[in-house]
């Protein structure tokens, strides 16, 4: 993967100043990782409370690194200085690349993308961290769709090495090269993929999860399947993974894939995750999913 991505390097524009829209789980992680690896970043949200939470998360991650002796207190302060929280677009004319990480709703994202496009220089790259929305469709609201692509991180951002860089119908090669170089500077492993439902990772992951829910329907205990897959060498089994991802998020992504690939993904009737969703058991975030959490 690394070798293939090298070919993008020569066309890349340097990202001296980045920005992220949305200071949630993903936005906070992206800001932390960017600052940690030396690219200053603006962290913009519409709610002050979200920014506070995003920064608290970065603080916590950094304190862990200091505790483990991987960072000095001085370096920690420097990284935190690299994240500039804001509620306005005031400093966006200096931005080279923006990652949009607001809520997963087409109309919200399209509005936010058009808004930010009017604030950044013409050459700036705008990338969306969407998991399920078509990049070409998101680009419909933009005047410069050639400067737009997907930049799909995985949760938790500091720990997960892979980033999918997604080429929309109109994305130009320099935009891809710039995003690939920035991902690499963040210490990530970028892969370039075309725009399709599920991109690459979820296209592989969700058929696996569908296989899991079919086994449940056949009467096999989810704990046993988790033990087997962990024994096989995966860091967590499918039930635990679904609890971590969030049952609501998983059902939404499964629906997008079922629409994109009905022949492989369509299910007759409810599966275990539909039942959990209806019961309000959303996984770790709600205190219970397949498992119960303290």
Q: Is 252 a catalytic residue?
A: no
- Count of Cβ atoms closer than 10 Å to residue 15 Cβ: 22
Q: Which is closer to ligand NAD, CB of 76 or CB of 124? A: 124
Retrieve residue 254's tokens. 């499964």
Q: Which residue has the tokens 């109309």?
A: 107
Taking the complex as a whole, the smallest distance from the CB of residue 127 to ligand NAD amounts, in Å, to: 11
Contact 136, 110 (CB under 8 A): no
Q: Which is closer to ligand NAD, CB of 23 or CB of 210? A: 23
Taking the complex as a whole, the smallest distance from the CB of residue 6 to ligand NAD amounts, in Å, to: 25
Taking the complex as a whole, the smallest distance from the CB of residue 285 to ligand NAD amounts, in Å, to: 10
Task: Calculate Rg over the CA atoms of the chain.
Answer: 20
Burial class (CB in 10 A: 0-12, 13-18, 19+), 33: buried
Taking the complex as a whole, the smallest distance from the CB of residue 192 to ligand NAD amounts, in Å, to: 17
Angle, vertex CA 23, rays to CA 116 and CA 246, nearest 5: 115
Retrieve residue 159's tokens. 């720990």
**What is the C-alpha separation between 42 and 256, in angstroms, rounded?**
31
Residue showing the smallest CB distance to ligand NAD in the complex? 24
Q: Which is closer to ligand NAD, CB of 11 or CB of 104? A: 104
Taking the complex as a whole, the smallest distance from the CB of residue 9 to ligand NAD amounts, in Å, to: 25
Catalytic residue among 152, 167, 188, 254: 152
- Bridge partners (DSSP) of residue 85 are 43
Residues 6+ apart with CB under 8 A from 198: 132, 205, 206, 253, 256, 257, 260, 261
Q: Which residues bind ligand NAD (CB under 6 A)?
A: 21-27, 44-47, 50, 101-104, 108, 112, 129-131, 153-155, 245
Q: Which is closer to ligand NAD, CB of 44 or CB of 147? A: 44
Torsion of CA 20, 25, 28, 34, to 10 degrees: -80
Q: Which is closer to ligand NAD, CB of 101 or CB of 216? A: 101
Q: List the catalytic residues.
A: 152
């Amino acid at each position: 993967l690394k070798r293939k991505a090298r070919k993008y390097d020569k066309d890349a524009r340097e990202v001296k100043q980045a920005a992220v829209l949305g200071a949630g789980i993903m936005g906070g992680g992206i800001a932390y990782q960017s600052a940690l690896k030396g690219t200053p970043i603006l962290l913009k949200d519409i709610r002050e409370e979200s920014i506070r939470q995003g920064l608290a998360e970065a603080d916590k991650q950094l304190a862990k690194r200091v505790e483990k002796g991987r960072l000095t207190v001085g370096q920690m302060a420097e990284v935190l200085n690299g994240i500039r929280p804001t509620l306005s677009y005031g400093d966006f004319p200096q931005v080279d690349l923006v990652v949009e990480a607001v809520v997963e709703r087409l109309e919200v994202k399209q509005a936010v993308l058009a808004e930010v496009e009017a604030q950044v220089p013409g050459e700036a790259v705008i990338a969306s961290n969407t998991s399920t929305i078509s990049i070409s469709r998101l680009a419909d609201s933009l005047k410069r769709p050639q400067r737009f692509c997907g930049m799909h991180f995985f949760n938790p951002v500091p720990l997960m090495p892979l980033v999918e860089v997604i080429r929309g119908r109109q994305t130009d090669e320099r935009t891809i090269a710039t995003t690939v170089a920035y991902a690499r500077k963040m210490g990530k492993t970028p892969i370039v993929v075309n725009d399709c439902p599920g991109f690459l990772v979820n296209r592989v992951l969700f058929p696996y999860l569908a296989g899991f829910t079919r086994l449940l329907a056949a009467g096999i205990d989810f704990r046993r399947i988790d033990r087997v897959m962990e024994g096989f060498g995966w860091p967590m089994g499918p039930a635990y993974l679904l609890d971590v991802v969030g049952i609501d998020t998983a059902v939404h992504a499964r629906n997008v894939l079922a629409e994109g690939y009905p022949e492989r993904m369509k299910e007759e009737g409810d599966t275990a995750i539909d039942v959990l969703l209806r019961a309000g058991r959303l996984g770790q975030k709600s205190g219970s999913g397949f498992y119960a959490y303290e």
